Structure 1
C-alpha cells in the first residue's frame, strides 16, 4: 500500500506502542458475541486479479453490510467455497492488503475478503471506545451476510490479532486455519507489561485529545480507553487447539527502541506457537511491525502454505 502521510504514520506508531488494541472500558471479559445483522449490499470496482485457470480478470466488489445500525465496507473477490479473510492492523484500511489480495486469489482460487473496520475507510464511525466484542460482531455479521460461515483462513495483522483470538475462541468451527502477522497475543499482556504500555503512550494520547475529530486521533483515543483492565482480561484468552496457526513475528517488533519490550513481544509469539503441535513460528527477518508492507512475499508464502495444508 502507499505509505501513509507522516501524521497518520506517527499515530500508527503510537498505536503500535499500545500493541494496537483496546477492549471495552470496564469490560469484565475479553471476548463475547453480540451479532446483529440485516442485509444491505452495493458493489463497485476494486483491485482485480486473474482467476486461476480461466485467464479472466476477477474483480473485487464492494458490499456494504449493516450491523446494529452502522454500515461496514467489505471487499470480495469471488472464488471457491474456501475463503481467505485479511484483517488489517490498527488504524489501517483494507487497502493495506491491496497488493496481497489479488495474488492470493490467483495462487489459491479462494474467495478473498478484505474489509474496513468501523471508523475506517468507507465504514461508518461508531463513537466510544474500541471494543473487541463489537469488532468480532462486525466481522461475523459481514461474513454471515456474504454467506461465509466456515472454511475460513483468517489472516490478522497487529490489532486484528485480538479479533482473531476472540473469534477463534468462540467460533472455532468457522476457521480452517489462521496466520497471525506480528499480531497481538494474550501472552504478551502481563501484569508487568500493561503499565509499561500505558505509560509509554500517554503523551501521544494526551496530544490526540486536543484534536479528537481527526480520524487518526479518534482511533488512538478509542484504542486507549479502558486499556489496562481490558488487557488484563485479554491475557486469559486461549486459542483453540483445533485451529492451526502460523505465528509470523517481525524481527524488530513494534518496540525497536526498547529491547526489553521487544524481547517480551518475541517471547509471547514463541510461547503461543509452542502451546500446540499445529502451530508454527516464523520470523520475518529485518522487518519492523509493518510486515505486510515491507515483506509481502513472506506474508503471501505463510498464507499460501496454511491454505494448502488445509485443502
Structure 2
C-alpha cells in the first residue's frame, strides 16, 4: 500500500549508502534493453555525514561493548517497555538517526538504541571483508550485554537490511517487528543482478585501492571483497514468518539512474512483502534512498505503528 506524501523537501544529503556504498543517485545508467548496466562514474564513497559525537541527545548514554575481540559503541536513550534499535546504512554511523531518536523516544516512551558498526563512529575497525553475519553477531552481542533480549523493533536502512535478515533468522524471539527502510533484501540479489552491481562499481573500487587506509575507502573495499559470493548466499536467506515487517521503499530508489534496476529494486520489496500476511509494503512517495531525511514523517509513523502493534 502507499501512504499520502507530504511535499518533498530534501535532496541527496548523503550518497545512497547501498550495496557497495558508492552507488550515487545515477549509479547505474539506463539500460533500456535490459543488458548489463554501464559502470558508474567514480565518485567519493559515502561516509558518515556527522562526527561520532555530533548532535547526540542529552538523554543518550554511551555503552562500549566487546564482541569477538573488538569494541562497539552503543548509544542508549532509556525508556520503558519496548526497545527500538536503529541501524544505519553502509558508511553511516549512528549519528544518521540523530533527528529521529528524540522524536521516537517522546512519541513511544520506548528505549531507543543506535550503534556504530565496526569501523564506523567510535567502534573499532575490523580488518577483512565485511560480513553481514558478523555484523548481526555484533548487534546480538551488544543487545544481550545491555540486557535487551525481547520486544525489539528493529529499524534498518539500506545495507543494514542484510544485517536485519541474518539477525531475524537467528533471533526471531527477540523481535516484535521490523521496519526495513529502503533496505537491501534477499530477493534483489539474483544471479543476474549481482554482476551488474559489481561491474557498475568497479571503477570506484579500483580508485579506492590507491588509498586503502582512507576510512571511506577501507569501508568500500571491505564491502567489495567477496561481494558476489556473499550476496549469492544472502539471496537464500528467509525472513521468519513469526516476525512482522513493514517494508518502506523509496519512490526514486537508490538506482533511479537505471530504470531496469530501479524496477527490480521495487519488485524485490514487493516480493518480500507478499511472502507473509504480517508484512506491509509502503512507498515513500517523493523520496530518494535517503528516506529518513526526505520523509521523516513517514518513517516515524511506521515505526510508531510497529511498536504499538498496529502492523
- TM-score per shorter chain, which class? 0.7 to 0.9
With over 3 angstroms needed to count, the CA separation of the structure-2 counterparts of 1:70 and 1:222, relative to structure 1, is same
Offset at residue 149 of structure 1 (A): 0.7
Distance 1:14 1:129, change over 3 A: closer
Distance in 2, Cα, partners of 1:127 & 1:195: 25
- State how far apart, in whole Å, the 1-side matches of 2:75 and 2:130 are: 22
Alpha-carbon contact 2:19-2:184 (below 8 Å) kept: no
Q: Conserved in 1, the CA contact under 8 Å of 2:172 and 2:243?
A: yes
- Describe how 1:167-178 pairs up with structure 2 within 5 A: 167-178=167-178
Residues 161, 183 of structure 1: 8 Å contact kept: yes
Matches of residues 20-35 of structure 1 in structure 2 within 5 Å?
A: none
**CA RMSD in angstroms, aligned pairs only:** 2.4
Cα distance, 1:45 vs structure 2: 10
1:75-97 C-alpha deviation (Å, 9 max, x unpaired): 00001131000000000010000
1:47 equivalent to 2:69? Answer no
Deviations 1:233-270 (A, max 9, x none): 11110001100000000011110100000000000000
With over 3 angstroms needed to count, the CA separation of the structure-2 counterparts of 1:285 and 1:167, relative to structure 1, is same
Q: 1:188 to 1:12 in 2, by over 3 A?
A: closer
| 1:22-171 correspondence to structure 2 within 5 Å | 47-48=56-57, 59-171=59-171
For 2:207 and 2:287, locate their aligned partners in 1 and report how far apart those are by CA, in whole Å. Answer: 28
Larger mean CA deviation between 109-118 and 290-299 belongs to 290-299
Number of the residue aligned with 1:17: 23
Larger relative contact order, structure 1 or 2 (CA cutoff 8 Å, min sep 6): 2
Does the Cα contact within 8 Å between 2:168 and 2:175 map onto a contact in 1?
A: yes
TM-score by length of 2: 0.83
Once the two structures are superposed, residues 31-58 of structure 1 have per-residue CA deviations (whole angstroms, 9 ceiling, x without a partner) of xxxxxxxxxxxxx99733xxxxxxxxx7
5 Å-filtered alignment, 1:119-268, equals: 119-268=119-268
Q: State the alpha-carbon separation in 2 of the partners of residues 10 and 270 from structure 1.
A: 20
Contact preservation (8 Å) 2:249, 2:282: yes
Q: Is the 8 A contact 1:172 1:242 kept in 2?
A: yes
- Structure-2 separation of matches of 1:13 and 1:184: 7
> SS where residue 281 of structure 1 aligns?
strand
Gaps of 5+ in 1: 19-43, 49-57
Q: Displacement, 1:286?
A: 1.2
Structure 1 position 11, deviation (Å): 8.0
Q: Deviations over 1:192-233 (max 9, x none)?
A: 100100000000000011111111111110000101111111
| Residue-pair matches, total | 274
> For residue 291 of structure 2, what is the aligned residue in structure 1?
291
Q: Deviations over 1:72-123 (max 9, x none)?
A: 0000000113100000000001000000011000000000000000000010
Cα distance in 2, alignment partners of residues 46 and 61 from structure 1? 13
Unaligned runs of at least 5 residues, structure 2 = 1-9, 25-52
Is the alpha carbon distance of 1:232 and 1:298 closer, same or farther for their aligned partners in structure 2, counting shifts above 3 Å? same
Render the CA deviation track for 1:113-158: whole Å, top value 9, x for unaligned.
0000000001010111101121011101110110001110000000
**Preserved contact between residue 46 and residue 60 of structure 1 (Cα < 8 Å):** no
